[in-house]
Amino acid sequence: MAEALLEVRNLKTYFLTEAGTARAVDSVSFSISERQVIGIVGESGCGKSVTALSIMRLIPPPGIIAGGEMLFGGKNLLGLPEREMESVRGNEISMIFQEPMTSLNPVFRIGEQISEVLLRHKPISKKEAAEQTLRLLRQVGIPSPEIRVREYPHKMSGGMRQRAMIAMAIACKPRLIIADEPTTALDVTIQSQILALLDMLRETEGMAILLITHDLGVIAEMAEEVLVMYTGRVVEHARVKELFKNPLHPYTQGLMRSVPGREGRGKKRLEAIPGVVPSLLALPLGCKFNTRCPYSFDRCFREEPPLAAPEGGHPVRCWLY
Amino acid sequence: MLQNVNLLQVKGVKKHYPITRGLLRRQVGVVKAVDGVDLDIKRGETLGLVGESGCGKSTLGRVILGLEPPTEGEVFFDGQNVSSIKGEQLHQLRRRMQVIFQDPYSSLNPRRTVGKTIAEGMIIHDIGTSAERAERVREIMEVVGLRPEQINRYPHEFSGGQRQRIGIARALAINPDLLICDEPLSALDVSIQAQVINLLEDLQEKFQLTYLFISHDLSVVRHISDRVAVMYLGQLVEMAETEELFQNPKHPYTRALLDAVPVMDPDGAKERRKLGAEADAPILPDLCLFQPRCPQSMPDCAQSAPELIEVAPSHWVKCLAYDQAGTPKS
C-alpha cells in the first residue's frame, strides 16, 4: 500500500463536564492513503463525528484532545501552532457537513463563499478566484453556474446546496476530505447523485475521503475499509467486503440484522439490539457492549477486551475471539 | 352499524395552497401539495405511503386527520365524511384516528409528565374517572415497553426511542382504529428503529390497528406494509401489494427510487438508473409531472397526461408507457 496520507494513533478526545469526564473518543487508530475511502460507522454518540472534528482540531470546550498523534504528510497535527493549523483546514483537509443549510452562511452569495476559501489560501486575484469558482460549480454539476453563483443558499434545494458545499470543500484541491453524514439530510435519489459525485472527485482529483455515516448501505457502496465505533471505541476494523461477509463483533452483527426490508413483511421479526447505548459518563465495567450483548459471559463484565485480530481474521474488540 | 371493509377512503383529494405576494396579498400562484389522490385502506391493513420530501405525503396525512380541509375531494372514515362533519361528531371521529410524529423531541410537551401526556386524550374525550385513567396509563405504558413507575418523569429524562414509545402510548390510550405514523422512525438510530418497528407490529396484532405508514425509507416500508403507494409531487404514481411493487416496479420513478437505495452488499455494485438532476426544467401541469426527470420519456409524454390505471390485479400505475393491458408500449 502507498504511504499513509493521514495516520491517527491512539486519539483520545475527552469532554470535561461537571458531571465527569466523557471519553468521547478513546484510543482510536487508523490510517488513510491517497484515493482511499475509509468509512466510520456507528450510532449517535459513538464518537464518529468527534473523531472528525478532532482531526480538524475543532473540538469545542469543554472538549480537549487528551492524547494521541495525528500524522498528516509527516507533520503531527496536534503539535502544530494554531496559525499553521489554519492553513491546513480548508486547504489540505476540508470537511463536508450533514446539513448544508446550517453550514453555509445565509447572508452571503454562494459564489462569495467559495471565492473566500480560495482567496484565504491561494495567492490569486479576486478575478481569478471568481473564474475558479465558476469552474468549481460546473465541476460539481450545478446547472447554469453563472446564475447560481449570485444566489443565496436559501434559494437552492438541499441537493444543490450540498453540491455547493462540496465545491467549497474541493476549492483548494485538498488531499483529504472528511465527509460527516454528507447525504443524511437528502432524499435517496439525490443521495445517489452526491455519492457518485464524491466518487468521481476521488478518482479525478486523487483525494482521500474519510466518510462518516450511520448508514451501512452507504458504507458498502463507497468505502474500502471501515471502522465500527461504539461508545468512543473502535469495536471492529476491516476491509468492507470482509466486514459484510464476516462481521465478527456482536454489535456489528446486530446492526446488520436491525436493518429491515431485505425480505418481505410478516416473514420475520427484526432482531433488534435490546436496550440502549450506555451514557459515556456511566459506562459499564469490562466490555462496553456487555449490557446489550446476547453472547456476554463473565469475563466480559470484568475486563475490557482489546482490539485484536484473531487468526485469519480482522481486528475486533471482543472476548469471543 | 354497517361495517365497511375499507376503514378509510380517500377520494380525489386535492390540497392547494395559494402563493400570495404584496401588501394586498394578491394570489400569484398555487402550490399543489396534494393533487388528486385516491386510495383506500382496509381494516387491519398497513398502507405504506412513500415519496421524497415535498411530495405531499405528510399533507395528505393531515387532510385525512381532518387537520386541514381538502381543497377538493373527500375523505371517508368508516363511511363518514371527515371533511363535512363538525362539532361533536368530528370530536368522536377524532378519537378513532390518532397520529404519531417524526420527532419525539418536539412532539412532546417538555413541561408535562409522561403520565399527563398519555392521559391527555382520555381527558379530552372524557373517558373514565381519574383513577381509571391512571390505571389505563400504567397499563398502556407497560404495553409499549415503558416502566409504569416512570409515570411522573418528564420527556427529557428519556432517550429518543423511549420518547417515541411515549408518543405511541399517547396515541393508543384512547383505543383508536387508525394510526397515522408520519415518519415515526426517522429520528432514531438503526438499532432502536428495529425495536420500534417490532413494537408497532405487535401492537397492530394485539389491538387490530390499521396503519397509514408515511415514510421516505423504502426498506422500512417494505418490511411493515401490506400495500405501498408511491407519491411524486402531490400525485400517486404507483400503488401495489408490497412484494409486487418491490419485485416488479413499473413506474420509472419507483424504479429510480428503488435503485437509489444503497444496498448492504459491497459486491453488488448496481447499475444505477441515473435520474436527471432535480427538475430545473419547468414542470408542465397538464403532462406527466415526472417527465422532466424521466429517463424513459417518450414523444407521447409531451402530448398528454397519464391516468392511474390498473395494469395487473391491484397494481396501479400512472405512466403512459403502460396501456390498459399492463404491457409496456413498444
> Is residue A105 domain-resident?
yes
The Cα–Cα gap between B277 and B288 comes to: 17
Residues 87 to 116 of B: which have CB under 8 A from any A CB? none
The reply to whether B193 touches chain A by the CB within 8 Å rule is: yes
Please indicate, yes or no, if residue A310 is contained in any of the structural domains: no
Amino acid at B200: L
Residues of A in contact with B269 (CB under 8 A): 221
A210 C-beta neighbours (distance < 10 Å), count: 26
> What angle in degrees, to the nearest 10, is found between the helix axes of B130-143 and B160-172?
130
| Mutation to test the A interface, candidates B52, B105, B147, B190, most A Cβ within 10 Å | B190
Interface contact B223-A271, CB threshold 8 A: no
Supply A86's cell numbers: 489554519
- Per-residue pLDDT of chain B (330 residues), as tens digits, is 445 589 999 999 999 998 888 888 888 888 889 999 999 999 999 999 998 888 899 999 999 998 889 999 999 999 899 888 888 888 888 899 999 988 777 889 999 999 999 999 999 999 989 999 999 999 999 999 899 989 999 999 888 888 999 999 999 999 999 999 999 888 888 888 898 999 999 999 999 999 999 998 898 999 999 999 999 999 999 999 999 999 999 999 999 999 888 888 877 655 554 555 554 556 667 788 888 888 888 888 888 889 999 999 999 999 999 875 556 664
Number of domains making up chain A: 1
Which of B313, B308, B283 has its CA nearest to residue B297? Answer: B283
DSSP string computed for A132-190: HHHHHHHHTT-SSHHHHTT--GGGS-HHHHHHHHHHHHHTT--SEEEEESTTTTS-HHH
A chain contacts of residue B192, beta-carbon cutoff 8 Å: 43, 272, 276
pLDDT value of position B54: 83
**Cα(B213)–Cα(B46) distance, integer angstroms:** 7
Residue B198 class from Cβ within 10 Å (0-12 exposed, 13-18 middle, 19+ buried)? Answer: middle
Does the model's pTM come out above 0.80? yes
Dihedral sign from CA coordinates of A82, A86, A87, A91: positive
If 0-12 CB within 10 Å is exposed, 13-18 middle and 19+ buried, where does residue B329 land?
exposed
Q: Which of B191, B256, B266 sits opposite A254 (nearest CB)?
A: B191
Cβ-nearest to B264 among A144, A256, A269? A256
Tens of pLDDT, residues A31-72: 999 999 999 999 888 999 999 999 999 999 999 999 999 999
* Run of H or E residues at A32: strand A20-33
Instruction: Identify the CA nearest to B275 among candidates B253, B297, B258, B248.
Output: B253
Identify residue A195 by its one-letter amino acid code. L
A199 belongs to a structural domain: no
Chain A nearest C-alpha distance from B89 (Å): 36
Q: For residue A46, is it within any domain?
A: no
Residue B181 is predicted with a pLDDT of 94
pLDDT in tens, A187-238: 888 888 889 999 998 999 899 999 999 999 999 999 999 999 999 999 999 9
Of B46, B193, B264, the CB nearest to A244: B264
- Domain membership of residue A129 as a residue range: 100-171
**B6-23 pLDDT tens trace:** 999 999 999 999 888 888
Q: Hey, are the CB atoms on A220 and B262 less than 8 Å from each other?
A: yes
The answer to whether residue A150 is domain-embedded is yes
Residue A88 lies in a domain: no
Q: Considering only CB atoms, which chain A residues are within 8 Å of B267?
A: 241
Chain B residues lying within 8 Å of A189, measured CB to CB: 52, 256-257, 260, 275
Residue A110 lies in a domain: yes
Does any domain span residue A151?
Answer: yes
Is A204:A33 a contact under the CB 8 Å cutoff? no
Which residues in chain B have their CB less than 8 angstroms from residue A197's CB? Answer: none
Q: Who contacts A183 (Cβ-Cβ below 8 Å, separation ≥6)?
A: A162, A190, A191, A194, A195, A213, A218
Least CA distance to B159: which residue of chain A?
A276
Sheet of strand A37-41: strand arrangement: A93-96, A176-180, A208-213, A37-41, A225-230, A233-239
* Per-residue cell: A50: 468527534
Q: Which chain A residues are Cβ-neighbours of B260 within 8 angstroms? A: 188-189, 191-192
